Amino acid sequence: MNSSADPIDFHTAQALLAWQMELGADEAIGDAPVNRYEAPAEAPKPSLAAAPVAEAEADPVEAAKAAAEGAVSLEALAAAQAAYAHCDLKQGARNFVFADGNPEARLLILGEAPGREEDIEGRPFVGNAGQLLDRMFAAIGLSRTAHHPDEAVYITNVMPWRPPQNRDPEPAEIAMMLPFVTRHVELVNPDVIVLMGNTSCAAALGKRGIMRLRGQWTEAFGKPAMPMTHPAYLLRNTAAKREAWADLLEVRARLKGQA
């Protein structure tokens, strides 16, 4: 083990930095401790005549609306969302996670936020929960790799950046991303939407309580929508898979009825 006087080699420093990022650290801290309780010396007050007029801070939601509404394609929307500077989650994430699957699909799955594996790979639902999701929809004849719209799914999330330690997105963060999600749905124009988990229901319906909402058809973004329990929940509660299977059959029936 290195003593405090020994220099840290590059690979050790890189591993320590990755570990701190995994914990959600997104700001460099100085070596010297700072006593926040010490009263700072009072700075001289500028005269009113010399003080510049402060510009009003941009409203993050209005900025998101302007950026999203200006996107005329999925590529333009991805670029506009990736460039959005008002969401602090962007600072701690490794990758921007936009979408996966066939944008011509009749079914759109709206998830919550990237996890660790998704943040590393830059695609939604690629970890254990994502593998279960793929098996679930394969059971009703749908796949993210399918070319025909009737057999395909398109997957995106409310949040394109991973929250630290996989915490739930905050209401203000969801509000910032909602204009992008709305425009995303408009551009894909699916026949049916699956709202996967509480965060997607909060964004699309303004409601939480997935165990109460699941299995009941509703409307989101002007489309028929089915709230479902998240695959991560199903991995922890295998008994709930029976209800999830019933919800999948409802989705398949609705897609066939609209064919």
Count of other CB atoms within 10 angstroms of residue 28? 6
**Adjacent-strand bridge partners of 91:** none
Place 39 in a pLDDT band, splitting at 50, 70 and 90: low
User: Residues 68-84, buried b or exposed e (16+ Cβ, 10 A)?
Assistant: beebeebeebbebbeeb
pLDDT exceeds 60 at position 228: yes
* pLDDT tens column, 169-222: 999 999 999 999 999 999 999 999 999 999 999 999 999 999 999 999 999 999
For the residues 47-71, what does the mean pLDDT come to? 75
What pLDDT is recorded for position 55? 41
Q: Check: CB of residue 106 under 8 Å from CB of residue 185.
A: no
**DSSP 8-state assignment for residue 143:** B
Is the model more confident about 46 or about 219? 219
Q: What is the pLDDT of residue 9?
A: 72
Domain map of the chain by residue range?
60-257
CA gap 118, 95 in Å, rounded: 8
Judge contact between 154 and 102, C-beta under 8 A.
yes
Residue 56 predicted with pLDDT over 60: no
* Two tokens, residue 193: 């939407």
Confidence (pLDDT) at 58: 82
Q: Specify the pLDDT at position 18.
A: 67
Q: Give the integer Cα–Cα distance in Å for 105 and 214.
A: 22
pLDDT at 25: 61
Nearest in space to 115 (alpha carbons), one of 201, 196, 27: 196
Q: For residues 19, 22, 23 and 27, what is the CA-based torsion angle, rounded to 10 degrees?
A: 90
In the chain, % of residues over pLDDT 70: 79
Please indicate whether residue 129 or residue 18 has the higher confidence score (pLDDT).
129
Q: What is the pLDDT of residues 84-98, one digit of tens each?
A: 999 999 999 999 999
Q: How far is the C-alpha of 187 from the C-alpha of 77, rounded, in Å?
A: 9
Half-sphere exposure of 15 (CA within 13 A, CB side): 5
Specify the pLDDT at position 23. Answer: 61
Contact predicate 181/124, CB 8 Å: no
- The contacts of residue 95 (CB under 8 Å, 6+ apart) are 114, 119, 120, 121, 122
Domain 60-257 has CATH 3.40.470.10: yes
Q: Which of 104, 125, 108, 107 is nearest to 116 (CA)?
A: 125
CA 167 to chain centre: 11
- Token digits for 133? 């999701």
Please report the pLDDT score of residue 26 as a whole number: 59
- When pLDDT is averaged across residues 135-150 and rounded to a whole number, the result is 97
pLDDT at 36: 55
CB atoms within 10 A of CB 52: 6
* Whether residue 130 has pLDDT greater than 60: yes
